[in-house]
Amino acid sequence: MFPSRAGPAARAPSRPLAAGLLALLSTAGAWGADDGRGGALYAECKRCHQAGRGAEHRIGPHLNDVFGRRAASLEGFPYSPAMKAAGAGGLTWTEATLDAFLADPHAFVPGSRMSYAGLANREERGELLAWLRGFSGAGSDLPPAEPTITPEEYGLDPQLLTISGDPEYGAYLAGECTTCHRYDGSDRGIPSITGWPLEDFVIALQAYKRAKRTHPVMQLVAGRLSDEEIAALAVHFRNLADEP
């Protein structure tokens, strides 16, 4: 936003496999890629990632110049230990490795914080990658980056983002969250919430609280929280990304 669980050495394709995949994926026309459709497919990615002029790290790192970049190499983003290990082991993002990652993120990098199950359709992956390619090496010609989730998207009061959260109170409240979500940010079928920007965390929980987002467990949990408690949890889980 590949399939091997044999350990760190298997996290990236072998050189012959990578070369073969790269040959298949090196041109957008190989899959009849449609830039317009790729942009539409990116709508799901933009919940966590920004791409374009002024793009910043949000729940996930920005995706400008992702092609040719070593995994976990951007400054200022709290990558998971699994992604850091993959980058240290030589994983570099190419058409081949990005395609494999999009197909099944957690098989390719077990323990990744990527909260995305994968995109099974090969042609759609090609279209999405062709669209993302336009944000690599394009310099100042990039269009402005779209925001991630916003209060307006769910009809929320923007003043909810101005509440100052108490991290100690958030740590006290976090026990219910960590019944499912792991403190280390790893994914075991439950999305990571560690290291999220404050605004994204607050918007997500407020949307569940007000039934703007649908998930029965999350609606039940968030519905019991005050606005101040949500702000406190947001600070606590953001700060966890800074802990060793």
Question: Where do the structural domains in the chain lie, given as residue ranges?
Answer: 8-141, 151-240
**Given this model, what pLDDT does residue 139 score?**
67
pLDDT higher than threshold 80 for residue 189: no
Greatest mean pLDDT range, 14-18, 128-132, 239-243: 128-132
Centroid of chain to Cα 117: 11
Q: How many Å apart are CA 235 and CA 172, to the nearest integer?
A: 12
pLDDT higher than threshold 50 for residue 7: no
**Given this model, what pLDDT does residue 186 score?**
64
- Is the CATH number of domain 8-141 1.10.3720.10? no
**Given this model, what pLDDT does residue 174 score?**
95
List beta partners, residue 92. 70
**Given this model, what pLDDT does residue 20 score?**
38
**Given this model, what pLDDT does residue 156 score?**
97
Which residue type sits at 22? L
Paired tokens of 190: 């439950």
pLDDT higher than threshold 70 for residue 199: yes
Three-state secondary structure call for residue 155: coil
pLDDT higher than threshold 80 for residue 34: no
Q: Select 151-240's CATH number: 3.90.960.10, 3.20.20.70, 1.10.760.10, 3.40.50.300.
A: 1.10.760.10
Residues of the chain above pLDDT 70, percent: 81
- pLDDT, averaged across the chain: 84
What is the distance between the terminal CA atoms of the chain, rounded to a whole angstrom?
Answer: 25
Tell me the CA distances in angstroms from 173 to 22, 165, 227, one per residue in order.
47, 12, 13
Task: Find the helix packing angle between 216-223 and 198-209, rounded to 10°.
Answer: 100
Residue range 52-64: average pLDDT?
Answer: 95
pLDDT higher than threshold 50 for residue 229: yes
Degrees to nearest 5, angle at CA 81 with 243 and 178? 60
Share in percent of the chain as helix, strand, coil (round to 5): 50, 0, 50
Domains 8-141 and 151-240 equal at CATH topology level? yes
Q: How many Å apart are CA 184 and CA 192, to the nearest integer?
A: 9
What pTM was estimated for this model as a whole? 0.77
Q: Residue 135, Cβ neighbours under 10 Å: how many?
A: 22
- 4, 17 Cβ separation under 8 angstroms: no
Q: How many Å apart are CA 205 and CA 219, to the nearest integer?
A: 8
